[in-house]
Amino acid sequence: MKVIMLGAPGAGKGTQAKRIASEYGIPHISTGDIFRANIKENTPLGMEAKSYMDKGQLVPDELTVRILLDRVAKDDCKNGYVLDGYPRTIPQAEVLDEAVAKFNEKIDYAINVDVPDENIINRMSGRRACVKCGATYHVKYMPPVKENVCDACGSELIIRDDDKPETVKNRLSVYHEQTAPLIEYYRNKGILKEVDGTKDIDVVFEDIKNILK
């Protein structure tokens, strides 16, 4: 099963993508996570990606597409995957379509986690991420057991540079200009499914499971 998660930054698509991955035994692929891992290791790719990410801009398609195609070619993707944060532009979606079509396969579902902008800004201000393992939390909606400490690895939680208020505003306008058109793109292909992302995390996941059944 191949699933794409659509939605504004902070809509909760990462949280849901991880749940889908563990429920259906398929890898969770986040281009944002791949970039962040490269930044942490100071790779040339990481340095280039960081210059865009810190401003809330998209990493250029050429670079992003290469990273994604390498990742989905790996063995663990044979039975499918859930993509979180890719595609973010129409050309990225077209490259993915071509890549899966080469193997006579297709994307099964594009799930749009719908959340209005006002809620997004509110949510992003409470978002925290682990400095070490990248796990994400929310001070109100998904707090760690111990304040500012990662449940998964015990490291400190911080506000990611790209979650800072100015950057969030940029990311939202980039989302509306470049990524939101993908909703129509997948609607036209007949695989778009929509869920109300303002509901409780568990309820959203139930809605998603009903779609993937």
Residues taking part in catalysis: 13, 88, 127, 160, 171
38-46, 82-90, 182-190, 196-204 -> range binding ligand AMP (CB under 6 A): 82-90
CA distance 129 to 32: 13
CA distance 178 to 180: 6
Cis peptide before 143 (omega within 30 of 0): no
39-47, 50-58, 99-107, 193-201 -> range binding ligand AMP (CB under 6 A): 50-58
Say how many Å lie between the first and final Cα of the chain, rounded: 11
The residue type at 178: Q
Is 115 in contact with 198 (CB distance < 8 Å)? yes
Considering only 2, 39, 86, 124, the residue that binds ligand AMP (CB under 6 A) is 86
Is residue 195 involved in binding ligand AMP (CB under 6 A)?
no
Considering only 15, 16, 64, 112, the residue that binds ligand AMP (CB under 6 A) is 64
Site for ligand AMP in 104-163 (CB under 6 A): 162
Is 114 in contact with 36 (CB distance < 8 Å)? no
Q: Report the interface residues with ligand AMP, using CB under 6 A.
A: 9, 30-32, 35, 52-53, 57-59, 64, 85-88, 92, 162, 171
